[in-house]
Structure 1
Amino acid sequence: MASKVIRVVAADGDFAGVRTEFGLPGDYPGAALAEAVRAAADGPAPGPREDATDLPLVTIDPPGAKDLDQAMLIERRSGGGFRVHYAIADLGAFVVSGGALDAEVRKRGQTVYLPDGNVPLHPAELSEGAASLLPGEIRPAALWTIDCDAEGNQESAHVRRATVRSTVRFDYETVQAAVDAGNPHPSLAALPDLGRARRALAVRRGAVELQLPEQEVVADGDGWALVLRPRSEVDAWNAEISLLTGMAAAEMMLTAGIGILRTLPDPDDGAVQWLRRSAKSLGIDWPRDEAAAELLARLDPTRPESMALFMDATRLLRGAGYTTFDGSPPEISTHAGIAAPYAHVTAPLRRLVDRFGAEICLAVSAGTEVPEWVRESLVSLPDLMSASDALAAKVDRACLDQVEAWVLADQIGAEFDAVVLRTENGNSADVFVPAPPVLARCTGEGMSEGETMRVRLVEADTAARKVSFQRAEQEEKTE
């Protein structure tokens, strides 16, 4: 896999069929939209807020994003260590519990992203306007302050309602270029050191990161492009700040005896033994005293055998869900992929559960009672979020499948290089074609995981959104 952006322009088309198939909502009901418009015009609900507009916060998001959930400032502490100021959009200041807008966003669960336009959780008046942490605008926020030592270990954390003003909106490429040039923005100058320290801690904890190829569909002229965009260091460091905050939130909830956690059971011994057998068959050395997280972290993601093992390692990350508790300790409190307790609190514009998690942490941090409407919602939130997670994943895959079919529709019979990611029954496999970046099924005998081979395109059905290949050498043998 090339370590650069790979772009292939597809034919013109839209994703109306995907929207119809999955029953995605369109406009907001009149009453819900009216509430959002009124809340945006009236401003945040009254109440005590710390004035933190002097903090030079910045945002890092994809180019063109307007639903900005997080703004950060990372400072070095005297004597060593770091202080993270992390402002999160405060939806609790705009959405009234029990109102029409609250009812609608509970139905939606989260923002669903499609190449030709998102299906947002909240109306644009809030998600891209009054609640978004846009640069130069004074906004309400849940402001976290987290102190870490020089190795990145959390030492303290608290959160309170505040008023903030982001100073600059960055994208990942701009920040990465500045870091590479040795000239990062002052608010992000400490991000590389803290990000690396947190990532090292994650590996030592046993956190599992799968560096699988990430496909993306982007607009390109009158059509669409398939893009393979490697994850940058800044992307990884930024994610570590969000994870740090989610882990601090989970710790707060567990201490208080109330909360909603994102959980994942530990993999059973069978899954780990399966991975060890896969590593051996792929020729990957895995010492017995090395943890799976350490192995996966040191692999070169551009190597075919690494890609195949990452695919097999998805077996370690099955069974994710949401666990609520109020009074009694939760049956499961950790997320095996993170190797620690974790809660969603950093993306309330785009994910329903984060608003409730934020309210719990704000109350705990202030020493006040968790609002009753939050307690009452804990029963229904796991099912609402699990359903919306499943829907969002299906829509994302359908859009990728559609563009893959568009890209390849006029290339039936053409041959491509491919990497075998996972085999089934000896004559079927999941393969990754780097150019154009396509994940699809392939038939043929004798395919081995981690193998690089030539494949021939035998199907690119734009109506069914289906692409399939056949091993080229196998087809030649049968002719």
Structure 2
Amino acid sequence: MVRRGLDDLRRELDVPAEFPADVLAEAASAAAGGPAGERSDATDIPFVTIDPEGSRDLDQAVHIERLGDGYRVRYAIADVAAWVRPGGAIDREVRERVETLYAPDGRTPLHPPLLSEGVASILPDQVTPALLWTIDLDADGAPQDVTVRRASVRSRAQLTYTGAQAALDDGSADESLQLLREVGTLRLTAEVARGGITLPTPEQEVEQGADGVWTLTSRAPLPVEEWNAQISLLTGMCAARLMLDGRVGILRTLPEADPRDVERLRRSARALGVPWRAGVTPGDVIRDLDAADPAHAALLTDATALLRGAAYVAFDGELPAFVAHTAIAAPYAHTTAPLRRLVDRFVGETCVALCAGEPVPSWVRDALPELPGLMAGGDKRAAEYERGCLDLVEAALLAGHVGEVFDGAVVDVREDRDAGVVQLRDPAVRGRIEGVGLPLGEHVRVRLTEASVPQRTVRFELAEPQADSA
């Protein structure tokens, strides 16, 4: 039932299936011929990768060491351009796919697995071509010097988030991993000082057990995931700075939040009893929220409105009028996931050229005008695919349980107050709830009124309707 629904969803969204024969043939030829371009040997640096369990498309490897009173961060990013010929079959195909898509029954990769899970992936004990970022930080974690060059690297280990966190917690982590925690913490402090906004929202994860039963859980990120993400954000900020100084490239931008959305969030905070002192920014309030608290979860749902309007902005010569990403509170570019996202390859190539004092390749410059549109379409499809997969599994989990009562919390109420969103405690399902006087941010008992797998919808009503509190 779920697999049939996933196949239907893929058809609806025109998710590509197998790679065309010419793409596979070109990938095989590239893998056999080896990576293009000259590069230095950096295989002596003891890099490690840190990714979810079972990952094979490894974009990044990290190593951190002390440098006087500060730090030296080395971040190796898969050099996809070493394998993809501009204008070739793979290049044309990935411009159609745009990014890797994820579903409960597997992923639809951006690049052929022979590359993305093989020779181009920074797998342990494999010599892999990479773009090697070297970022020197001061004692406060602020960048002082940045370079990026082509190199060959060799990862010493493929760590998982849970394994890395366990090693940090029990004291067995090596110095580089301990410094990841130290630098990550400094960068989080810097994010607060800049006024950045991070939504501490748990992720919904879909898994299928050995018995074929689908499960849906809610998982909060581990601290090591946040520290690792800060290294990626640092690199993206450095990439943006290089491109702005060089007056060529493509940024990821996010406009200032609409003042009406900020005021709406303030009203929601008052209604939910969440403190918001005078002079405190939305980011400061959001940072202290705990998604396990129903009132906080409701405010986090409202806070997503502050992050609307993300876009890609390309430039070549004249700088765009707006270059900031307000959630990061700095200019920013995607550059650390080229195996899984199209734009990162172009950003990486631009930065390598700028650091070397060389012209940006013509195939990069020629692509800049079309990249924002390609990425916008790819992001839209990815978001619809992710949401559709979750909706489908949620409906499948609850099929056959119509009429039953569940514990949950109302995390959103529409303007007319006759409909909203409820988050169940178990299973971790979010669904539409209908009724008058929905108690935003409160624990409730709800009755399932619909669970349609074909329509990918679930609906609830209050098991004990309450009077309108307005």
**Shorter-chain TM band:** over 0.9
| Corresponding residue for residue 302 of structure 1 | 292
* Cα pair 2:236 2:335 within 8 Å, conserved: yes
Q: Distance in 2 between matches of 1:113 and 1:448?
A: 34
* Cα pair 1:44 1:94 within 8 Å, conserved: yes
AA partner of residue 419 (structure 1): A
**Taking structure 1 as reference, are residues 476 and 100 closer, same or farther at Cα in structure 2, changes over 3 Å only?**
same
AA partner of residue 462 (structure 1): V
> Cα offset for 1:297?
1.0
> Cα offset for 1:299?
2.1
> Cα offset for 1:434?
2.2
Q: For each residue in 1:423-462, what CA deviation from the matched residue of structure 2 results, as whole angstroms up to 9, or x when unmatched?
A: 0111101111121001110011111321211111111111
Q: For each residue in 1:136-160, what CA deviation from the matched residue of structure 2 results, as whole angstroms up to 9, or x when unmatched?
A: 0000000001111222111111100
* Cα pair 1:111 1:121 within 8 Å, conserved: yes
* Cα pair 1:11 1:223 within 8 Å, conserved: no
From 418, 422, 430, the counterpart of 2:421:
430
| Corresponding residue for residue 19 of structure 1 | 10
> Cα offset for 1:301?
2.7
**Taking structure 1 as reference, are residues 314 and 476 closer, same or farther at Cα in structure 2, changes over 3 Å only?**
closer
AA partner of residue 321 (structure 1): A
> Cα offset for 1:466?
0.8
| Corresponding residue for residue 359 of structure 1 | 349
* Cα pair 2:5 2:454 within 8 Å, conserved: no
Q: For each residue in 1:255-293, what CA deviation from the matched residue of structure 2 results, as whole angstroms up to 9, or x when unmatched?
A: 000110000111132221111111111111111111111
Q: Does 1:134 align with 2:88?
A: no
> Cα offset for 1:13?
6.3
| Corresponding residue for residue 56 of structure 1 | 46
Aligned pairs for 1:230-249 (under 5 A) are 230-249=220-239
> Cα offset for 1:213?
3.0
Q: Distance in 2 between matches of 1:316 and 1:267?
A: 5
From 76, 87, 94, the counterpart of 1:105:
94
AA partner of residue 54 (structure 2): G
AA partner of residue 93 (structure 1): A
Q: Distance in 1 between matches of 2:308 and 2:161?
A: 29
> Cα offset for 1:303?
1.3
**Taking structure 1 as reference, are residues 203 and 65 closer, same or farther at Cα in structure 2, changes over 3 Å only?**
same
Q: Distance in 2 between matches of 1:260 and 1:130?
A: 27
Aligned pairs for 1:111-150 (under 5 A) are 111-150=100-139
> Cα offset for 1:12?
7.6
AA partner of residue 313 (structure 1): A
Q: Distance in 1 between matches of 2:28 and 2:103?
A: 24
| Corresponding residue for residue 459 of structure 2 | 468
> Cα offset for 1:418?
1.3
From 150, 167, 174, the counterpart of 1:178:
167
Q: Distance in 1 between matches of 2:283 and 2:174?
A: 32
**Taking structure 1 as reference, are residues 429 and 71 closer, same or farther at Cα in structure 2, changes over 3 Å only?**
same
| Corresponding residue for residue 418 of structure 1 | 408
Helix, strand or coil for the counterpart of 1:325?
Answer: strand
Helix, strand or coil for the counterpart of 1:58?
Answer: strand
| Corresponding residue for residue 168 of structure 1 | 157
| Corresponding residue for residue 322 of structure 1 | 312
Structure 1 window deviating more from structure 2 (139-148 vs 270-279): it is 270-279
> Cα offset for 1:388?
0.5
AA partner of residue 23 (structure 2): A
> Cα offset for 1:75?
1.0
* Cα pair 1:215 1:229 within 8 Å, conserved: yes
Q: Distance in 1 between matches of 2:155 and 2:176?
A: 11
| Corresponding residue for residue 7 of structure 1 | none
Q: For each residue in 1:292-349, what CA deviation from the matched residue of structure 2 results, as whole angstroms up to 9, or x when unmatched?
A: 1111112223211111111111111111010011100112101111111000000000
| Corresponding residue for residue 438 of structure 2 | 447
* RMSD of aligned residue pairs (Cα, Å): 1.6
* Cα pair 1:13 1:223 within 8 Å, conserved: no
> Cα offset for 1:233?
0.3
| Corresponding residue for residue 72 of structure 1 | 62
**Taking structure 1 as reference, are residues 11 and 113 closer, same or farther at Cα in structure 2, changes over 3 Å only?**
closer
* Cα pair 1:72 1:84 within 8 Å, conserved: yes
Structure 1 window deviating more from structure 2 (426-435 vs 296-305): it is 296-305
| Corresponding residue for residue 93 of structure 1 | 82
Q: Distance in 2 between matches of 1:348 and 1:38?
A: 20
| Corresponding residue for residue 241 of structure 2 | 251
From 356, 364, 385, the counterpart of 1:395:
385
Q: For each residue in 1:100-124, what CA deviation from the matched residue of structure 2 results, as whole angstroms up to 9, or x when unmatched?
A: 1100100110001111121110000
AA partner of residue 104 (structure 1): E
AA partner of residue 154 (structure 2): R
Q: Distance in 1 between matches of 2:402 and 2:364?
A: 55
Count of residue correspondences: 466
| Corresponding residue for residue 3 of structure 1 | none
From 263, 266, 269, the counterpart of 2:256:
266
Q: Distance in 2 between matches of 1:398 and 1:299?
A: 27
Taking every aligned residue pair, what percent have the same amino acid on both sides? 49
AA partner of residue 333 (structure 1): V
Q: Distance in 1 between matches of 2:351 and 2:244?
A: 11
* Cα pair 2:437 2:467 within 8 Å, conserved: no
AA partner of residue 200 (structure 1): T
AA partner of residue 460 (structure 2): F
- Can you give the 5+ residue segments of structure 2 that lack an aligned partner in the other structure? none
**Taking structure 1 as reference, are residues 13 and 216 closer, same or farther at Cα in structure 2, changes over 3 Å only?**
farther
* Cα pair 1:217 1:225 within 8 Å, conserved: yes
* Cα pair 2:240 2:331 within 8 Å, conserved: yes
Helix, strand or coil for the counterpart of 2:108?
Answer: coil
Helix, strand or coil for the counterpart of 2:106?
Answer: coil
**Taking structure 1 as reference, are residues 62 and 118 closer, same or farther at Cα in structure 2, changes over 3 Å only?**
same
Q: Distance in 2 between matches of 1:295 and 1:204?
A: 14
Q: Distance in 2 between matches of 1:133 and 1:276?
A: 45
* Cα pair 1:83 1:147 within 8 Å, conserved: yes
Structure 1 window deviating more from structure 2 (287-296 vs 116-125): it is 287-296
Helix, strand or coil for the counterpart of 1:216?
Answer: strand
AA partner of residue 195 (structure 2): G
